[in-house]
């Protein structure tokens, strides 16, 4: 930040520049930006916070139209630091009688894949797979929109080469397309395909009415709702890395309520199935998707490491009727014995506890099966599935 030690002087420069620009181009917008910050733990003692405070003290709030800040040198799991920065800057605005939400807010950000080294400040960047970068991108965009940020600019589409004369600088790892100057690879990364899928699903949404449905910081489950063409689209994820006792492959049950006049939803992972973008040969089949029935205006499904999109499914495209897919579970609640009445035989049953651990599984060879479940009392979730899609999901209670 070239003006770092000259905030008072910059306030004068900004005022004169703004007035000249508006005189020549009244419809043009002036952006004040470049406000960087530490990767995590940003607060009002950092120099960019002090710089902004001095500007606003000098009346500079009248001489810009858009506010922009940055978020860099962070691991994907620290995506919520964007919210911390916004709160710090919002408080500085408020201290001078201004509301930051009266200005369009832009951010420029990215997270890496691979294993770059980190220039100060800490914490150190860790190795991140293409999968982690991809879900980091998705969470960055969705979370930022949910807290009122108007535009999010990913740092670069194609990787930089030898940024700052340093071959392993983090900025060489931000791109969503590989740079062949770095390693001979020019392929698209998983983050490219995740970005494309996100745009395809959410473009045209009513951005001003995005709803935070769930931010459960105990179970680390987050759900956000968008409206597109009058229909709800949900984006949900599990911050598994903050969950004590997590083991790779664990999942957690998520329930979305209020799905009136919807009979089925599709649950599509937001990151491709492959471990690297170079392996993707057919974009249309790259994302895992399941069908979940809506029961009692609610849909329950399971999330692992990858975020998911949950959308209303057009049931007319499915060659089955509502009656064909009913799974009856009774009695419910029960003590040890429960009966499942199924539309067909040969379905697979899984039962999960509240943290998503599989506690019982069985292939159901008959259209009606009675099970003796030797499980502790509590709330469980079941999933009945054939080899193509979910047939039914729901909740059971053992007394």
Residues shown for the chain: 399
Distance CA 152, CA 145 (A): 8
pLDDT at 355: 73
pLDDT tens, position by position, for the chain (399 residues)? 578 889 999 999 999 999 999 999 999 999 999 998 778 889 999 999 999 999 999 999 999 999 999 998 899 999 999 999 999 999 999 999 999 999 999 999 999 999 987 655 556 889 999 999 999 999 999 999 999 999 999 999 999 999 888 888 889 999 999 999 998 999 999 999 999 999 999 999 999 899 999 999 999 999 999 999 899 999 999 999 999 999 999 999 999 999 988 999 999 999 999 999 999 999 989 999 998 989 999 999 999 999 999 999 864 333 333 344 578 899 999 999 999 988 888 888 989 887 778 899 999 998 899 999 989 998 888 888 876 566 777 889 998
Which of helix, strand or coil describes residue 308? Answer: strand
Distance CA 87, CA 75 (A): 20
362 strand-pairing partners: 349
pLDDT at 323: 41
Which of helix, strand or coil describes residue 31? Answer: strand
Q: What's the CA angle centered on 104, arms 231 and 38, to 5 degrees?
A: 105
Distance CA 324, CA 342 (A): 9
Q: Note whether 160 and 171 are within 8 A (CB).
A: yes
Half-sphere exposure of 365 (CA within 13 A, CB side): 0
pLDDT at 321: 34
pLDDT at 392: 77
Residue tagged 């900004």 (tokens): 14
- pTM value? 0.80
Sheet with strand 66-71: strands edge to edge:
31-35, 66-71, 105-109, 151-154
């Amino acid at each position: 930040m070239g003006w770092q030690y000259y905030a008072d002087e910059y306030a004068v420069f900004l005022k004169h520049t703004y007035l000249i620009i508006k005189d020549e181009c009244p419809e043009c917008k002036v952006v004040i930006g470049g406000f960087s910050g530490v990767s995590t733990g940003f607060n009002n003692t950092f120099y960019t916070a002090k710089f902004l405070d001095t500007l606003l003290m000098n009346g500079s709030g009248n001489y810009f139209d858009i506010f922009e800040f940055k978020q860099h040198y962070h691991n994907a799991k620290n995506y919520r630091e964007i919210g911390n920065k916004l709160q710090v800057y919002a408080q500085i605005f408020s201290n001078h009688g201004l509301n930051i939400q009266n200005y369009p807010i832009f951010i420029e950000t990215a997270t890496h894949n691979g294993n770059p080294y980190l220039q100060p400040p800490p914490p150190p960047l860790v190795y991140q797979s293409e999968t982690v970068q991809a879900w980091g991108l998705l969470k960055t965009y969705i979370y930022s929109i949910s807290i009122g940020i108007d535009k999010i600019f990913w740092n670069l589409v194609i990787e930089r080469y030898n940024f700052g004369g340093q071959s392993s600088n983090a900025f060489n790892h931000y791109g969503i397309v590989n740079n062949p100057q770095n390693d001979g690879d020019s392929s698209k990364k998983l983050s490219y395909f995740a970005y494309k899928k996100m745009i395809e699903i959410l473009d045209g949404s009513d951005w001003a009415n995005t709803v935070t449905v769930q931010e459960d910081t105990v179970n680390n489950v987050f759900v956000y709702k968008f409206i597109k063409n009058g229909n709800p689209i949900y984006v949900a994820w599990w911050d598994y890395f903050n969950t004590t006792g997590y083991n790779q492959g664990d999942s957690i049950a998520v329930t979305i309520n209020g799905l009136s006049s919807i009979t089925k939803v599709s649950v599509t992972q937001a990151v491709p199935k492959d471990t690297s973008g170079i392996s993707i040969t057919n974009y249309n089949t790259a994302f895992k998707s399941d069908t979940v029935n809506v029961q009692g205006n609610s849909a329950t499904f399971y999330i692992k490491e990858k975020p998911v999109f949950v959308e209303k499914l057009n049931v007319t495209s499915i060659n089955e009727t509502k009656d064909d897919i009913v799974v009856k579970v009774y009695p419910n609640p029960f003590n040890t014995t429960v009966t499942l009445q199924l539309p067909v035989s040969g379905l697979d049953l899984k039962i999960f506890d509240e943290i998503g651990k599989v506690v019982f599984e069985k292939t159901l060879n008959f259209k009606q099966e009675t099970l003796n479940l030797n499980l502790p009392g509590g709330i469980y979730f079941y999933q009945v599935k054939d080899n193509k899609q979910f047939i039914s999901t729901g909740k059971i209670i053992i007394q």
